Amino acid sequence: MKICISDELRNVKLELKKRGYEIVSMNSNNECDAMICDLKNGGLQNINCENNIKKDGILIIDIGSKSIDEIEYILKNRIYSSLF
C-alpha cells in the first residue's frame, strides 16, 4: 500500500514505514492508496496533491488524535468512523 503523508507528520511516517508501508511525499507525482494529513491545521488546503489521487479514489485520513494503531486499522480495513 502506498501512502502519502504530510511532511510535518514525521513520527507517523517513520512508524508506518517500520510497519512495512510505502511512504511517498504529498508533492510527488506518485498515485497513492491513502493520504494522511492534519485537517485541523490546513491539511489538504496548501498541498498540490491532485497527481496523487488514483482514478478509483483515495482514502483520506485526518490524523486528529488517532494513535498509530488506529491509523493502521483504518488503512487495513479502509473503514473510517462516522462523522456524526
Domain assignment of residue 63, yes or no: yes
pLDDT score for 84: 44
Which three cell numbers mark 43? 491539511
Which three cell numbers mark 48? 498540490
Domain that holds residue 22: 2-77
Domain assignment of residue 52, yes or no: yes
Please state, in angstroms and rounded to a whole number, the distance separating the CA atoms of residues 15 and 55: 28
Domain assignment of residue 68, yes or no: yes
pTM of this prediction?
Answer: 0.76
Strand partners, 34: 3, 59
Strand partners, 4: 24, 35
Q: Is 56 exposed, middle or buried, given 0-12, 13-18 or 19+ CB atoms closer than 10 A?
A: exposed
Domain assignment of residue 59, yes or no: yes
Query: In the predicted model, is pLDDT for residue 83 greater than 80?
Result: no
pLDDT score for 18: 97
Question: Closest by alpha carbon to 14, among 36, 29, 32?
Answer: 36
pLDDT, one tens digit per residue, over 17-71 is 999 999 988 777 778 889 898 877 665 555 555 555 555 678 889 888 899 999 9
